[in-house]
Amino acid sequence: MNFRLLKNRARLAYRIHQLNRKGGRAPLIAYLLIENKCNLACFYCFVDINNQEVHRLTTQQVFDIIDQLHEAGTILVCLMGGEPLLRKDCGEIIDYVHSKGMMCEMTTNALLVEQRFDAVKKLDAMMISLDGDEEANSKSRGPKAYAKCIQAIQMCLTEGIPVRVNTVLSRYNRDSFHHILELGKKHDFFVSLSIMADTHYSDAKVVNPEEFKKNCLKDDEIRELYRVILQKKREGYPVLFSEYTLKNVIGYPEPYSEILFEGDPRRPGLKPGACMYGRLMAYVDTDGMVYPCAYQWGPNFKPKSWLAVGFQGAWDNVQAQLKCVDCSLSRLAADEWEYVTSPQGMARGAYVTVKQALRKSPAPVA
């Protein structure tokens, strides 16, 4: 059983409650982008991965930012990219996060899980990106990805690593995301279902803008899908989001691609600070830039790099510019963090962790 995971989840929940009560700010959860290259080219990807200037931090620089995050109060480091498993030193990085007593999770496209399994085994949890059945996933994420994801889920479950699958909803998979929920139900992993984020607030370009436009669901369709997802949740499917979060997303009154900023006449009086992003969560890019969230990469937000001003300076810069008051990402991901760290969410998480840890040989995933 992973006691570090259970202890740190409890610590995270306590700190979130504490800071929410006092209105405090600290980067308790840090999304650390450690690799800006990728071995896939998912049509909707907003990270602008392969077009970025290459700024690959050295192992020592990654250790430095981990030190600074630890000093700033981070409890959970989520390794991301690009594709984090492209880095040969990912095992050392995970060890380093653990040496500071923090939790380490990763989001991956799974292509290299088998090759880097010695490193993967060290993770506290794994998020695997899978968009539907083989046909839908091949359209979204490329022909090799489906089989690799199924293999990776199997390997992680066998090793007792908690697995979550993330699915980005689009026209390609609107009918086939049920396939992943069925897999999740059979093999006991949670599925998060995300809105395909428009990037008009940012200067990042999606991998294939034409395909993005063609496959982007309309707001009514998104709302309807979340109603179906809510129904699935009630039927016992392993939808990660709580009913509270799902209802909040369905109820977002503005277009899903819009962020509301302070002073917007549609919601006068709303103040920044309700969302956990930028307040309790930080995004650290491969070039060192610190952002509040992935929605605010771009011209409206002027990031600073921890390489130039230190993490605390770059984090203070985030605080000085946080003027957003509501958005769909906040309703989905940030609200969910509030839920999973609530007593009810914690009890559910502990139950699943214990169940996964006790399971010896899961049935083949297929």
Report if residue 38 touches ligand SF4, rule: CB under 6 A: yes
Report if residue 107 touches ligand SAM, rule: CB under 6 A: yes
Report if residue 339 touches ligand SAM, rule: CB under 6 A: no
Report if residue 277 touches ligand SAM, rule: CB under 6 A: no
For residue 118, the tally of other CB atoms under 10 A from its CB is 9
φ, ψ at 192 (rounded to 5°): -105, 140
Q: Which does 335 bind (CB under 5 to 8 A by kind): ligand SAM, ligand SF4, none?
A: none
Amino acid at 65: I
Instruction: List all residues 6 or more positions away from 41 whose beta carbon is below 8 Å from its beta carbon.
Output: 50, 142, 207, 208
**Residue at token pair 């946080």:** 322
CA distances in angstroms from 49 to 44, 95, 143, listed in the order given: 11, 26, 19
Report if residue 166 touches ligand SAM, rule: CB under 6 A: yes
For residue 282, the tally of other CB atoms under 10 A from its CB is 26
Q: Which does 324 bind (CB under 5 to 8 A by kind): ligand SAM, ligand SF4, none?
A: none
Binding residue for ligand SAM, selected from 26, 193, 196, 327, defined by CB under 6 A: 196
Binding residue for ligand SF4, selected from 109, 137, 317, 328, defined by CB under 6 A: 109
- Exposed/middle/buried for residue 203 (C-beta within 10 Å: 0-12, 13-18, 19+): exposed
Q: Which does 196 bind (CB under 5 to 8 A by kind): ligand SF4, ligand SAM, none?
A: ligand SAM
Q: Which of 328, 345, 326 is CA-nearest to residue 274? A: 326
Name the one range near ligand SF4 by CB under 6 A: 11-19, 33-41, 220-228, 317-325.
Answer: 33-41
Name the one range near ligand SF4 by CB under 6 A: 34-42, 116-124, 273-281, 334-342.
Answer: 34-42
Name the residue nearer to ligand SF4 (CB basis): 82 or 184: 82
State how far the Cα of 307 lies from the Cα of 289, in Å rounded to an integer: 8
**SS3 of 148, please?**
helix
Report if residue 34 touches ligand SF4, rule: CB under 6 A: no
DSSP conformation class of 106: E
Binding residue for ligand SAM, selected from 194, 257, 300, 312, defined by CB under 6 A: 194
Report if residue 202 touches ligand SAM, rule: CB under 6 A: no
CA distances in angstroms from 96 to 64, 87, 100, 219, listed in the order given: 10, 15, 7, 43
Binding site for ligand SAM (CB under 6 A): 38, 44-47, 80-81, 83, 107-109, 129, 166, 168, 194, 196-197, 206
Binding site for ligand SF4 (CB under 6 A): 38, 40-42, 45, 47, 49, 81-83, 109, 129, 141
